[in-house]
Chain A
Amino acid sequence: MTVNINLWAKTGSLSLPGAGTVPFWGFAGAAAGPAQLPGPLLEVPQGENVEISLTNDLTFGVSLVFPGQDFIPQPVKNPDGAFVSYNLETAPGGSLIYSLTASRPGIFLYESGTAPEKQIQMGLYGAMVVRPPGFDPGNPATWTAYGPGTGTEFDVEKILVISEVDTAIHQALASGDDPAAYNLDYFLINGRSFPDTLNPDDSGTQPYSGKITANSGQRVLLRIINAGFMNHNIRLQGIDIKVAAGDSRPLITPGLDKSYLKHTVTIGSGQSYDILFTAPAAGNYILYDRNLNCCVNGNNFPGGILTMVGII
């Protein structure tokens, strides 16, 4: 079977606390919809052939790559041999279909493979969840991250895409200038900086809330994936977290449990961790970047990569 997905690459405008609006490039899930950060969350069943039709509304070439997934990139070079893109480009105004096989369950990034030092910083990334066999969205009894025997049953799932923004670079690239040295000044969970991370889901350009809500005793699965340039040390204060998978490789397999407990997890750029915990007593538990310089908006604390796990 084939899952067909349509994405549009567009310009848009981010709202960041204290920075006003910041231009960005992102993916939209509808021809008339806004570019969003991160891009639309894609959800596909394991084993399917996934065909993503990308329509490029930007004024330069864009492509898609799927790190960790089963696809065959076709790198592009200039006639003189200079490297252009990690995968075939969609020309401005054109569209192209990118295919992959969702051969393993897990949490993955999709991102531009063209001028990634600019296009990923500008927002051309999103997350894709591949569901294990037997996963039925309507039946909580079937909810696992990696299938039976992987110890990843959950009641509440939250996907957290970590990234950063350099507002000066965004302004420069949006006006066609070349970027100066990077000096990241905004730090994002699901495209938002604290306190916006706490706002509920909406239909704007940054639609995904960063807040986690669960009932005491529920099994919570956090799927944290780093789309940014930096490594981030994500801490959940006051709750032991079990690392159940790294880069979508489950650590528990039948007969062998390699999961481990932590309170702070260093998530390298491009990496993901699935972490599990049982919701403790009611209260607010902070989830933040222990690289404390990323808990700011510009120069102001609190901000950035900071959110709450609200246990009811």
Chain B
Amino acid sequence: MTVNIELWATDGYMSTPDGNSIYIWGFSDAAGKKAQLPGPRIVVTQGDVVSITVNNILPEATSLLFPGQSGVLADTGTGPHLAQPQFDGSGNLVSLTDFADYPGNPDTNPASIKYTFTAGNPGTYLYESGTNPHKQVPMGLYGAIIVRPADYDPAIPTRKTAYGENTGTEFDREYLIVVSEIDPALHSAVEKGTEYKIREFKPRYWTMNGRCAPDTMFADGMGCLPNQPYGAMIMAEPGEKILIRYAGSGIENHPLHLHGNHTRIVAEDGRLLKNGATDLSYKRFTVLTGSGQTYDQIFTWSGLGYSPADPIPTTVPNLRNLGVGDAGWTLWSGSPYLGEKGDIPVGVTSFNGIGEYYFMLHSHEEMQITNWGEFPGGMMSMLAIFPAGTLGDTGIIE
């Protein structure tokens, strides 16, 4: 199948929970729309011929790299050719790949470019700017691609997988979390056209899917976050296979840490950790998400003695593993769990009417769970376990 996607490289603003509004560059999926952070999710199927056209309305050239894809072709109107690093007439490298020029500079390239590749492998991938990437990638010119395996069929449990039937990657719900950093000084300098020294890069915000906590826990498509459409809250029911796709789109590496659960890493960079019969997958409590890399993990929350057949309250998980704050702040119904509500301890308020409870998911570099130094914030979200049968079709990426 051929998939045609159009992106616009443009600007916009992102909101942070402390009231800041930060100028961004990014991609939108329609002419006239503001840039969103991260760029539009692209979901295709293994074997698809994927054509992505970038229409550039930024004041400088831009481009796309597709790490993990091979044989990417670029076409600026003269016919497709292998995408290549670009040099100027003096032999200076001007872009890591073929680029779309900025409007009004018709002397060189047109302001749009079409990249085409065959999605050869299932998995999780990034797309990101290859032009002035030290500036354009932190400004927001990145997004993620999910490639479904060729035999993907969400109606058949053995074929609702990340990497194909019999690869051990079946899942019930999936979540994509793209992590990055924001140095407001860079964004302000680009907005005002003033000088910025990359050696002084100092992030103040850390994002999951372009949002800082607690906005990470809002649903997709919140009206108050018009340019940050993707939530980062993981929601699942007991016993389900949860697929989390981490993608590091920033400059730095981030140790992402999920309280109370070990996840099994089944693939990195969109390549299954399996050689024939040799299973190379491994479990982690904290996944060091390297920049420019992706990590697909599958795990099941089964609780401390819980089983779907016996949803009787058992030992409450240790409070250290729950999302807690001061008395009155605890995100725990007070009941042992999952639908069996009871009296809650004195001083604790219930915010979760269904009886779900929460494990924190955050960067273990604790400075990164602040918004400009104020805890809590930044690269933090929650895993929420809901009573069986209450979630519907939440957690499937379209």
| A contact set with B: CB distance below 8 Å | 183, 185, 194-195, 231, 233, 235, 237-240, 256-264, 266, 280-281, 283-284, 286, 288, 290-293, 295-296, 298-299, 301-302, 306, 308
Contact = CB atoms under 8 A, between A and B. Distances in A.
A259 B251 contact: no
Interface stretch (B225-233, B270-278, B298-306): B270-278
* Residue of A233, A258, A290, A308 contacting most chain B CB atoms (<10 Å): A290
B278 A237 contact: no
Given A195-B93, A284-B84, A284-B85, A262 B275 contact: no
Given A240-B70, A258-B275, A293 B198 contact: yes
B177 to A, nearest CB: 18
B312 interface: no
B168 interface: no
Interface in B17-71: 65, 67-71
Contact of B199 (A264, A299, A302): A299
Given A263-B67, A263-B269, A288 B96 contact: yes
Interface string B65-82: 101111110000000001
Interface residues of B, number: 43
Given A238-B72, A260-B275, A264-B269, A301 B82 contact: no
Contacts of A259: 275
A183 B275 contact: no
6 contacts: A185-B199, A238-B69, A257-B275, A262-B268, A290-B292, A292-B251
Contacts of A299: 197-199
A293 B293 contact: no
Nearest to B67: A263
Contact of B291 (A183, A256, A291, A298): A291
A266 B269 contact: no
B65 A258 contact: no
A302 B292 contact: no
A280 B268 contact: no
Contacts of A238: 69-72, 83
B214 interface: no
Given A237-B67, A301-B134, A291 B251 contact: yes
A225 B393 CA distance: 47
B133 interface: yes
A260 B271 contact: yes
A233 B253 contact: yes
Given A293-B134, A293-B198, 12 more contacts: A183-B199, A238-B72, A256-B278, A263-B269, A264-B290, A266-B288, A280-B71, A284-B85, A290-B290, A291-B253, A298-B199, A299-B198
Contact of A301 (B70, B135, B201): B135
Nearest to A282: B82
Closest 6 CB pairs of A and B: A290-B292, A261-B271, A266-B290, A292-B134, A257-B275, A299-B197
B198 A281 contact: no
A22 B349 CA distance: 62
Contacts of B269: 261-264
Contacts of A231: 253
Contacts of A237: 65, 67, 96-97, 130
A260 B253 contact: no
Contacts of B280: 258, 260
B365 interface: no
